[in-house]
């Protein structure tokens, strides 16, 4: 794993985008794994700005998102489909047919999970973007999720519901379940770029890097992947003994 320690979230986004752009422009039909949440918002803004400035095209790009809430339609403002359309897809030249997000409204959720894992098998991302939860989750793989997990329905941890309640009017409106790519799906990506900003991520990042990999901290399973790069700001790394990483 490589860790880049940067001064601010703005620099994290700029450095991560430079890396991602290098990957996207080195293949003819790139496959890009995407995450939602607050952390990648600046990165997506950089992608949009670069596209508008003529620096990159997403015409031949396919995207695969990590997760979606169960029970929300893509037009619901809280859904991850809505988030991606609003913050990225509607501002760039991507063909919306090539953007994939689990269907949280599928009648048969088990079948939807199988479909999604097959999709990832057939479309291994050239690069997967990840955030990290304050409890060490990646996508919605909460503590306790095994490394072999494929796409599945998850009951969200209370800490994740609490963290995500900032996006909702009341905590009661936060969905209790999500469909998430499993850890083994995530590890299929050719490269992984994880972004961590802010003090709320410091403990999770420290556990991910310094603990032997374990399901207690799902992000620690990334130690198993040969090409992981972490871009983190000073607040997210303040608990690390930097000499030891
Ligand atoms: C979202 C996702 C989550 C987030 C994590 C951090 O698609 O997969 O694992 O990356 O919860 O969220 P933020 O960035 O909002 O702190």
With cut-offs at 50, 70 and 90, classify the pLDDT of residue 242: low
Note the pLDDT tens digit of each residue in 60-96: 999 999 999 999 999 999 999 999 999 999 999 999 9
Q: Would you call 98 a catalytic residue per the annotation? A: no
Kindly tell me if the per-residue pLDDT of 30 is higher than 60: yes
d(CA 231, CA 236): 10
- Between the CA of 83 and the centroid of ligand 1 the distance, in Å, is 12
Mean pLDDT, all residues of the chain: 96
For residue 131, the ligand 1 atom closest to its alpha carbon is 10
d(CA 72, CA 70): 6
Q: Answer whether 201 contacts ligand 1 (Cβ < 6 A).
A: no
- The reported pLDDT for the residue numbered 126 is 98
Kindly tell me if the per-residue pLDDT of 229 is higher than 50: yes
The three-state (H, E, C) secondary structure of 186-223, written as one string? HCCCCCEEEEECCHHHHHHHHHHHHCCCECCEHHHHHH
Nearest CA to ligand 1 atom 11: 133
Helix-, strand-, coil-residue percentages of the chain, each rounded to 5: 40, 20, 40
Note the pLDDT tens digit of each residue in 146-168: 999 999 999 999 999 999 999 99
With cut-offs at 50, 70 and 90, classify the pLDDT of residue 213: confident
Tell me the pairing of strands 152-155 and 177-180: antiparallel
Q: Answer whether 35 contacts ligand 1 (Cβ < 6 A).
A: yes
For residue 36, the ligand 1 atom closest to its alpha carbon is 7
- Between the CA of 233 and the centroid of ligand 1 the distance, in Å, is 16
Cβ-contact 20, 195 below 8 angstroms: no
Percent of the chain whose pLDDT exceeds 70? 98
Q: Would you call 216 a catalytic residue per the annotation? A: no
- Between the CA of 164 and the centroid of ligand 1 the distance, in Å, is 9
Mean pLDDT of 3-21: 98
Mean pLDDT of 132-151: 97
- The reported pLDDT for the residue numbered 243 is 46
Q: Answer whether 66 contacts ligand 1 (Cβ < 6 A).
A: yes
Nearest CA to ligand 1 atom 3: 139
By most ligand atoms within 8 Å of CB, the mutation choice from 12, 37, 40, 69 for ligand 1 is 37
d(CA 198, CA 235): 5
Nearest CA to ligand 1 atom 2: 139
Q: Which two tokens stand for residue 187?
A: 């590890």
Kindly tell me if the per-residue pLDDT of 44 is higher than 50: yes
Q: Is 198 left (phi over 0), alpha (psi -120 to 50) or beta?
A: left
Q: Answer whether 133 contacts ligand 1 (Cβ < 6 A).
A: yes
- Cβ atoms within 10 Å of 92's Cβ, excluding its own: 17
Nearest CA to ligand 1 atom 13: 37
Q: Answer whether 9 contacts ligand 1 (Cβ < 6 A).
A: no
């Amino acid at each position: 794993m490589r860790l880049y320690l940067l001064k601010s979230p703005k620099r994290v986004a700029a450095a991560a985008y430079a890396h991602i752009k290098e990957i996207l422009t080195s293949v003819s039909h790139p496959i890009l794994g995407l995450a939602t949440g607050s952390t990648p918002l600046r990165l997506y803004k950089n992608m949009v700005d670069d596209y508008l400035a003529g620096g990159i095209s997403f015409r031949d790009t396919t995207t695969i998102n990590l997760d979606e809430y169960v029970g929300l339609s893509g037009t619901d403002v809280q859904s991850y489909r809505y988030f991606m359309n609003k913050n990225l897809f509607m501002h760039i030249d991507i063909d919306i047919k090539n953007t994939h997000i689990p269907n949280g409204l599928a009648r048969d959720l088990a079948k939807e999970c199988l479909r999604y894992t097959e999709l990832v098998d057939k479309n291994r991302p050239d690069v997967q973007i990840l955030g990290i939860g304050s409890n060490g989750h990646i996508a919605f793989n909460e503590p306790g999720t095994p490394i072999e997990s494929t796409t599945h329905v998850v009951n969200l941890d209370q800490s994740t519901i609490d963290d995500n309640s900032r996006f909702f009017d009341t905590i009661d409106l936060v969905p209790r379940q999500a469909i998430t790519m499993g850890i083994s799906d995530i590890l299929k990506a050719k490269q992984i770029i994880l972004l961590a900003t802010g003090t709320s991520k410091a403990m999770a990042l420290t556990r991910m890097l310094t603990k032997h990999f374990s399901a207690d901290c799902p992000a620690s399973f990334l130690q198993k992947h040969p090409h992981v790069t972490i871009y983190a700001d000073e607040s997210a790394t303040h608990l690390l003994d930097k000499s030891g990483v």
